Amino acid sequence: MYTIAFSNEKGGVAKTTTTVSLGACLAEAGRKVLAVDLDPQANLTLALGVEPTRVVHSTASILLHDLPLRQAILPSSVSNLDLIPGSSETSQSERYLPVRERYEYLLRDAFQQAALQYDFVLMDCPPALGSVTLNALVASNLLLIPTQAEFFSIYALKNLMNWVRRIRSEYNPHLTYRLLLTLFDRRNRIHRLLSEQLRSNFNNGVLETVIEVDTKLRESPIAGAPIIFHAPKSRAAAQYRALAQEIIAYVEKANLQPA
């Protein structure tokens, strides 16, 4: 089982879009996937067709009330793809987690105890480097950082990289990371320039696949279906399928330690 956290301090960089779209593509490729909504906005939950206000057990139940993780798993509308939903209660986690003992390890321990049979666990994080994101990164093999090729986005990466170093040294020495360029506009000169700079600064830290701007991606949450069902022939669907293949190859090659 490989665990991937989707995190970036910045909002609106396609963390949730990437979690849903990649999750559906991995499922389509025959992998069993669990998507975990750690953001109180519960956009991942909504995008997978579950109404957050009707959720009984959410990620908050696991983090704050020690609910066994299996009890919070729901099937989604996509076969091979299950969900641990978020709810408004998830916002309490950020605040109350740090008073719990060994709070950094609660999610990792919950996964270990549940002994799940998934190939991939994908965790959609809130846009903050707080106690919830810390839990996700401690429980992860891979941190996937969606980022735009914009100056402010790239500037924000500095802080995230410092965080990764701290987490590696204090909690999770196996954590690796990869950057994913999202919302890319190939006609935009700044995008082209900054993406080249990113590749020369981070070398193989940047994934080959690039996700370009595609309006179909904005429509798919409204339709309540991941892009490969909403617009199977769109450019975005093709790019997320390519991303799934790249991630599968990466994970097989890296031979990551199971979480």
DSSP letter assigned to residue 9: S
CA count, 13 A, side-chain hemisphere, 254: 18
Using N-to-C axis directions, what is the helix angle for 151-170 and 131-138, rounded to 10°?
A: 60
Instruction: Please pick, from the candidates 136, 139, 211, 231, the single residue that binds ligand ADP as defined by CB under 6 A.
Output: 211
Residue closer to Mg ion by CB (options 43, 239) is 43
Should residue 45 be labelled a site residue for ligand ADP when binding is judged by CB under 6 A? no
17: partner contacted, choices ligand ADP, Mg ion, none (Cβ within 5-8 A by kind) = ligand ADP
Nearest-approach distance from CB 255 to ligand ADP, in angstroms = 29
Residue 153 interacting with ligand ADP (CB under 6 A): no
User: What is 149-198 written as a DSSP string?
Assistant: SSHHHHHHHHHHHHHHHHHHHHT-TT-EEEEEEEEE-TT-HHHHHHHHHH
Site for ligand ADP in 67-126 (CB under 6 A): none
Choice between 112 and 209, CB closer to ligand ADP: 209
CB 240 within 8 A of CB 225: no
Token output for 190 = 């700044």
When binding is defined by CB under 6 A, the residue of 58, 93, 131, 182 that contacts ligand ADP is: 182
Q: What region does 22 belong to: left with phi over 0, alpha with psi -120 to 50, or beta?
A: alpha
> Is 185 a residue that touches ligand ADP (CB under 6 A)?
no
What residues from 217 to 236 belong to the interface with ligand ADP (CB under 6 A)? 217-218, 236
Which of the residues 3 through 22 are near ligand ADP (CB under 6 A)?
A: 11-17
